[in-house]
């Protein structure tokens, strides 16, 4: 049986891209993997770790023989990378390559793809399948990658009506090879759900640590931090660049969720200030019921 | 060698009280343990689980022979329990009993002790040692108790200048038998640090789940919740009564910390609304540095 992907090109070989490579190799679902990206040091490290078989620092060169191109770079770098992919495929006359990404917001990525992939070559952006694996750790870089990252996790694809069905099929099968469950939804719904479930919690965590860092007792805060504080702030160790880019690229849905959350905290503040134990009890009980219902 | 504690009376035999009993039994540091509390069902369960040797539903009765009394009830029940302890000790002419507690706020508990333990019998409140083990899980009740809960955790004692030194010594040694490290500080400092490190994070978690529970996509929020959301919201499954009581009993320090946090979120909201990537980057970098510095 032929492997699923003959030539895979992975642009960005850190935690997300690197873990995909390791998982596909473990599943024997890929023949060769060429890595690409801005930092030669990262690419060398990825090659040493057998994440990729070879690398190119010139993205347009890296994609020329690709059957599948996986873009896992910070959202802020996506536009430049898409342009280089487009140039490379046109120059090589590559009419087969399917492109997918791992960006945490999907409406803007889809807009970028439609703006840039006007040719690739011939079918426009139809062979671009926007995707987002719901997985990660607070660590980054090739050394953080591991084959099991996507096992039993969800991957969301947000194809449009124009997206090529064979392209959706290949990207779906690729993710299934990593052990992930694949679901599709529209990009707008994705962005709203992710703002609530991932982007807002990261802002909450960064904000909590940041607002405490100048108090006199900051050392004691960390010394006496029990599990609760450690859990709430764990993701404040996430990559700042990646999170700046996510915020700027999913601005309105995140602002909507932040507004909702700020209103909630105002309500809790007022209830506590008024000594309104009944109100606090009602909120805590509802929250516990909701969380217990959905997590058990 | 004699055991550390001959007769231990534990009022409230849930996660905190029950785990202390199991740890002291494992360390052979106690002869007999009598449990007391409002719910006979809980006490029966604790006895079945060999957490306590016997129980009394009448607290005044339970304390009469006690060498050490450990109070681990919600802060809202503390006043009533202290009154029953005081009555019991006076009636029995018990002049030896040392009293300690596990409440998450210390200024108000100390005030209660000084108000109520005017006799116990003779020394006033001098044999009361306010304490707080920095440990817990989101579960509660005797079935959640385990001997290792306090191992390598910190316990804070907040004695006053009046507190009997032998009482401090016994309570310190008791906690050390569980594997915990004991530190002392003044009650005001404790309450400020705990507001930041524990109370605010719980309000953050309860608030996050509560503010999302009425959105259309709440099912998807939990379905697509990655580790970040689960971590931030884990403590929203904590006991609502306990947390209502903690909030009401440490009101001002929590309000101060909430104010600081609300200002932080306003600043982040404004930065995001303005598309100020530089500001976001600065906050995220600082937060990551602070967290990484103190946790590694």
ipTM associated with this complex: 0.84
User: For the segment B161-192, what is each residue's pLDDT rounded down to a tens digit?
Assistant: 999 999 999 999 999 999 999 999 999 999 99
User: For the segment A170-189, what is each residue's pLDDT rounded down to a tens digit?
Assistant: 999 999 999 999 999 999 99
| Average pLDDT rounded to a whole number, residues B46-70 | 97
DSSP A56-119: ES-HHHHTTT-SEEEE-S-GGGHHHHHHHHHHHHHHHT----EEEE--S--HHHHHHHHHH-S-
Burial A55-68 (b: 16+ CB within 10 A, else e): bbeebbebbbebbb
Distance CA A281, CA A289 (A): 12
Instruction: Please check the confidence at residue B285 and state whether its pLDDT lies above 90.
Output: yes
pLDDT at B296: 67
Contact map slice: A 104-143 vs B, CB within 8 A: 134-137
Instruction: Please check the confidence at residue A107 and state whether its pLDDT lies above 60.
Output: yes
User: For the segment A30-80, what is each residue's pLDDT rounded down to a tens digit?
Assistant: 999 999 999 999 999 999 999 999 999 999 999 999 999 999 998 999 999
Distance CA A9, CA A84 (A): 13
Distance CA B225, CA A83 (A): 32
**Which sign does the torsion angle of CA B237, B260, A264, B230 carry?**
negative
B269, A259 contact by CB (below 8 A): yes
pLDDT at B134: 92
CATH 1.10.3660.10 location in chain B? 189-295
Closest CB to A193: pick one of B221, B231, B255.
Answer: B221
Distance CA B269, CA B19 (A): 43
| Predicted confidence band of residue B249 (pLDDT cuts 50, 70, 90) | very high
Distance CA A65, CA A85 (A): 11
| Average pLDDT rounded to a whole number, residues A228-250 | 91
Nearest to A100 by CA among A117, A88, A87, A115: A117
Instruction: Please check the confidence at residue B120 and state whether its pLDDT lies above 90.
Output: no
| Predicted confidence band of residue B121 (pLDDT cuts 50, 70, 90) | low
**Beta strand A30-36 pairing with A54-56:** parallel
**Which sign does the torsion angle of CA A18, A21, A26, A27 carry?**
positive
- Token pair for B137: 């899980």
CATH 3.40.50.720 location in chain A? 5-185
Distance CA B9, CA A112 (A): 68
CATH number corresponding to B189-295 = 1.10.3660.10
CB contact under 8 A, B244 and A135: no
Task: Tell whether B255 lies on the interface with A, counting CB pairs under 8 A.
Answer: yes
Closest-approach residue (CA) in chain B for A275: B248
Contact map slice: A 192-221 vs B, CB within 8 A: 192-194, 196-198, 200-213, 215, 217-221
Task: Tell whether B275 lies on the interface with A, counting CB pairs under 8 A.
Answer: yes
Chain B residues in contact with A268 (beta carbon < 8 A): 203, 206-207, 258
Question: In terms of DSSP H, where are the helices of chain B?
Answer: 15-26, 40-48, 59-62, 78-92, 107-116, 165-177, 187-194, 200-212, 218-223, 227-233, 240-249, 251-273, 277-295
Distance CA B295, CA A71 (A): 32
Full-model pTM: 0.83
A157, A103 contact by CB (below 8 A): no
| Predicted confidence band of residue A121 (pLDDT cuts 50, 70, 90) | low
pLDDT at B216: 75
CB contact under 8 A, A232 and B235: yes
The CATH number fitting domain A5-185, selected from 3.40.50.720, 3.40.50.2300, 3.40.50.1220, 3.30.2130.10: 3.40.50.720
What number of C-beta contacts closer than 8 Å exist between A and B?
291
Task: Tell whether A277 lies on the interface with B, counting CB pairs under 8 A.
Answer: yes
Q: Other C-beta atoms within 10 Å of A201: how many?
A: 27
CB contact under 8 A, B233 and A291: yes
């Amino acid at each position: 049986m032929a492997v699923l992907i003959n030539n895979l090109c992975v642009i960005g070989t850190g935690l997300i891209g690197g873990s995909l490579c390791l998982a596909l190799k473990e599943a024997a679902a890929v023949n060769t993997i060429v890595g690409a990206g801005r930092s030669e040091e990262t690419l060398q490290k990825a090659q040493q770790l057998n994440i990729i078989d070879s690398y190119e620092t010139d993205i347009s060169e890296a994609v020329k023989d690709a059957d599948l191109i996986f873009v896992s770079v910070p959202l802020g770098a996506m536009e430049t990378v898409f342009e280089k992919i487009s140039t490379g495929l046109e120059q090589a006359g590559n009419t087969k390559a399917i492109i997918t990404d791992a960006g945490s917001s999907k409406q803007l990525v889809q807009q970028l793809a439609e703006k840039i992939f006007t040719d690739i070559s011939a079918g426009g952006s139809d062979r671009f399948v926007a995707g987002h694996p719901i997985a990660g750790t607070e660590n980054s870089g090739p050394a953080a990658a591991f084959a099991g990252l996507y096992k039993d996790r969800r991957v969301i694809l947000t194809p449009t009506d124009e997206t090529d069905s064979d392209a959706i099929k290949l990207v779906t099968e690729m993710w299934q090879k990593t052990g992930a469950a694949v679901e599709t939804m529209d990009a707008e719904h994705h962005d709203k759900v992710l703002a609530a479930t991932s982007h807002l919690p990261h802002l909450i965590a960064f904000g909590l640590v940041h607002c405490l860092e100048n108090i006199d007792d900051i050392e004691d805060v960390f010394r006496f931090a029990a599990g609760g504080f450690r859990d709430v702030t764990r993701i404040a160790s996430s990559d700042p660049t990646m999170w700046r880019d996510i915020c700027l690229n999913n601005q309105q849905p995140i602002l909507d969720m932040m507004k909702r959350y700020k209103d909630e905290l105002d309500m809790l503040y007022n209830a506590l200030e008024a000594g309104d134990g009944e109100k606090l009890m009602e909120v805590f009980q509802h929250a516990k019921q909701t969380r217990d219902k959905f997590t058990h």
